[in-house]
Amino acid sequence: MTEPTALLLQRIHAREARIGVVGMGYVGLPLAITFAEAGFQVSGIDVDLGRVERLQRGESPIRHVSAATVQRLVEGRQLQPTASFDVAAKLDCIIICVPTPLTSEREPDMSAVIAAGTSVAQHLRPGQLVILESTTYPGTTDEVLRPLLEKNGLVAGRDFHLAFSPEREDPGNANYGTRTIPKLVGGHSQGCLEAAHALYGSALEKVVPVSSTRVAELAKLHENIFRAVNIALVNEMKMLCDRMGLDVWEVIQAASTKPFGFMPFQPGPGLGGHCIPIDPFYLTWKARQYEFHTRFIELAGEVNTQMPHYVVQRTMEGLNRDRKTVNGSRLLVVGVAYKKDVDDLRESPALRIITLLRERGARVDYHDPYVPEVQRLHGFPYEMRSVSLEPQRVELYDAVLILTDHGSIDYAELVAHAALVIDTRNATGKLKRFREKIIKA
């Protein structure tokens, strides 16, 4: 064990190591809180000055992260939000949790990783540990981040520690959180792995070491591609069941009675969130460098991308049944977040569905108890505010589209006052008495 590694491990075990988390979003903020609650002093670095100021006031920018927790940690100085990277020179461990979206050409956008790595490099000193958590293609830690950090002459594995540990956040999951989800980690060298393993092990319940940063990077992609492919399969099954006059949810429930060799996935209006709609294309892009075509992954992406169009088509068919056209119709979308009981709009298929309906002349409102307003972001061209679900308001719409099955909504009451319901989530599955009003999509 080298002297820098031994000194860092000593500081980690004594809870004296100062930790910095770059990116105070859905991944970084819960991680920073977890380390702060484990007894470390944590700096939360974010280039968004508005977000930093909210955190400094003790406010939470994320709905499922407790503002009371943020306030307690900030007032106790266990969590110190800042927009400056100058603090990086005083840190022992720096964890980068920044977005890795796709470009308009559906290629990896490494700009946030490069910007964060460049800023960290300006303050890098011997003995520090730098970990990348942003989901990315195999080789990013070694090919993109390491050269940035080594520009001033320090060498990874000798002068400083470098590792990759993929985030596994699931916003709104009541059963698993940052502390309890097993943590994969791969190091640039054995000493790097030991340092990263010790850091996460000091705050998380279980750490799983792997042989390299590339293995950890690909394992994360494999996790999300597994979900994307199986969701595409069940979405395709849903469209087939529509043609055959069968209920796909009944089919899934029946198949789920098999106690082995089957895992149920639920269909929906498309893919949403920061991982599943994006991550598979990171691997397809990287695979092309090896003259390998990931046909199965790309086919799944095509199926999932078409789901908003399928929902719009089913809506048009429902309106046509009632002798109405989508052009000029009044429609209410229930749920714009990509999953239930969260406020996350990233890659939400609801935004695409609203856009498609508006392009066809529909007048569209939405209701979401977790999203009071939608602004012109993520490529969405409209500004909208959530409307209420009073019966007299619901009765004014030609159709109601259920895109997210929020637990706080009384769907029986909603359907009772709706003229037509397009249900993409089986939220009305038990409401047999209203079956004439309901179209599954």
Q: How many residues does this entry show for the chain?
A: 441
110 and 232 assigned to the same domain:
no
131 and 68 assigned to the same domain:
yes
Q: State how far the Cα of 424 lies from the Cα of 268, in Å rounded to an integer.
A: 5
Q: What is the structure's pLDDT at 342?
A: 87
Q: What is the CATH number of the domain that holds 243?
A: 3.40.50.720
Q: What is the structure's pLDDT at 130?
A: 98
Cite the active site residues: 275
C-alpha closest to that of 371 among 384, 382, 358, 353:
384
- 126-141: per-residue pLDDT in tens? 999 999 999 999 999 9
88 and 130 assigned to the same domain:
yes
Q: What is the structure's pLDDT at 106?
A: 84
- 196-232: per-residue pLDDT in tens? 999 999 999 999 999 999 999 999 999 999 999 999 9
In the chain, how many H helices and how many E strands? 15, 15
Q: What is the structure's pLDDT at 222?
A: 97
Q: Which residues contact 80 (CB under 8 A, 6 or more apart)?
A: 41, 42, 43, 44, 74, 87
Segment (H or E) for 373: strand 373-374
Q: How confident is the model at residue 181 (pLDDT cuts 50, 70, 90)?
A: very high
What is the pLDDT averaged over residues 183-198?
97
Q: What is the structure's pLDDT at 36?
A: 98
CB atoms within 10 A of CB 377: 10
- 282-303: per-residue pLDDT in tens? 999 999 999 999 999 999 999 9
52 and 114 assigned to the same domain:
yes
For residues 335, 339, 344, 347, the Cα torsion angle rounded to the nearest 10 degrees is -90
Last residue of a domain, one of 210, 239, 254: 210
- 92-108: per-residue pLDDT in tens? 999 999 999 988 888 99
The answer to whether residue 378 scores a pLDDT higher than 70 is: no
Q: What is the structure's pLDDT at 5?
A: 84
- For residue 96, the number of C-alpha atoms closer than 13 Å in the C-beta half-sphere is 32
Q: What residue numbers bound the domain in which 253 lies? A: 227-440
What is the pLDDT averaged over residues 369-390?
90
Q: State how far the Cα of 133 lies from the Cα of 117, in Å rounded to an integer.
A: 12
Q: What is the structure's pLDDT at 1?
A: 61
What is the pLDDT averaged over residues 393-405?
97
425 and 280 assigned to the same domain:
yes
Last residue of a domain, one of 210, 242, 267: 210
Last residue of a domain, one of 184, 210, 236: 210
The pTM (predicted TM-score) of the whole model is 0.93
Burial 221-257 (b: 16+ CB within 10 A, else e): bebbbebbbebbebbbbbbebbeeeeebbebbeeeee
- 334-346: per-residue pLDDT in tens? 999 998 888 889 8
